[in-house]
Amino acid sequence: MAHKGFTLWFTGLSGSGKSTISERVGHQIQKMGFPMEILDGDIVRTNLSKGLGFSHEDRDENIKRVGFVCQLLTRNGIPNIASVISPYRAARDHNRQKIKNFVEVYVACPVEVCAKRDVKGLYQKAMAGEIQHFTGVNDPYEEPLNPEITCHTDKESIEESVEKVIKKLQELGYLS
């Protein structure tokens, strides 16, 4: 059975819920009988983008590398998920132009809520000046202007967010 490849690009602050939602969405898609690959930002950073820092240029390079892999998967009929902060709009737009069937999911959550969820204490360290270039604290996050899906994880449950994503993919014709 031939599948239609697509890239589901999750973007949002650290702690917003990107990984949690994307894992559950990926599991749902697999249960529907589709192959699925998930590229999570933390895993990508230790493998595909090892050695890159957190400067604007390095972040853009990281996002372009993830986008290249997503482009290959999509082109070969493999649905895939990228779950990466991807703070800069231009880098996300670059990938949107390169990847056919690109669906952007903005996981919106106020920085104060993300900081409360932070089990690693990274927000606290960034706010104390111990970590530089931390997105949402001392480095910018440029919100998407027209994402196909927005999940407000401070107002909706994980299940509601997952359902919203699956429903939109069905509406777009990527899942039957």
Catalytic residue chosen out of the listed positions 19, 49, 83, 86:
86
Residue 7 backbone phi and psi in degrees, to 5: -115, 125
In the beta sheet, which residues pair with residue 103? Answer: 8
Is 176 part of the annotated catalytic residue set?
A: no
Query: Which of 106, 103, 98, 104 lies closest to 67, judged by CA?
Result: 98
Reported as type and span, the H/E element at residue 10 is strand 7-11
Residue 38 backbone phi and psi in degrees, to 5: -120, 125
Indicate the residue type of 166: I
Indicate the residue type of 96: R
* Angle of helix 56-75 versus helix 89-98 axis, rounded to 10: 20
Residues tagged active-site: 86
